[in-house]
Amino acid sequence: MPYFQTTDGTTLAYEEYGTGAPLVFIAGWSLYADMWEYQLHYFVERGYRCILLDRRGHGRSDRPAAGYDVNTRADDIAALIAHLDLNDFAMVAHSAGGAEVVRYLARHGQDRVNRIALLAPAIPYMLQTEDNPIGAPRAAFEASAAQLKSDRPQWFAERAQGYFATHLRRGTSQAVIDMEIQRCLSASPYATIAVQRDLFHSDHRPDVAAVTVPFLLLHGLADQSIPIEISSHQAVKLAPHAVLKEYWDAGHGLYITHAAEVNAEILEFLKS
Catalytic residue list: 95, 223, 252
Give the closest residue to 259 by CA, choosing from 98, 104, 41, 31: 41
State how far the Cα of 181 lies from the Cα of 163, in Å rounded to an integer: 10
How far is residue 58 from each of residues 63, 88, 143, measured CA to CA in Å? 7, 27, 23
Non-local CB neighbours of 136 within 8 Å, separated by 6+ positions: 126, 127, 128, 200, 230
Q: Which of 120, 58, 98 minimizes the C-alpha distance to 204?
A: 98
Please give the single-letter amino acid code of residue 211.
V
Distance CA 119, CA 22 (A): 18
Tell me, rounded to whole angstroms, the distance of Cα 29 from its chain centroid. 6
- Cα→Cα distances 147→69, 140, 230, Å: 21, 11, 23
User: What does the DSSP assignment read for 6-18?
Assistant: -TTS-EEEEEEE-
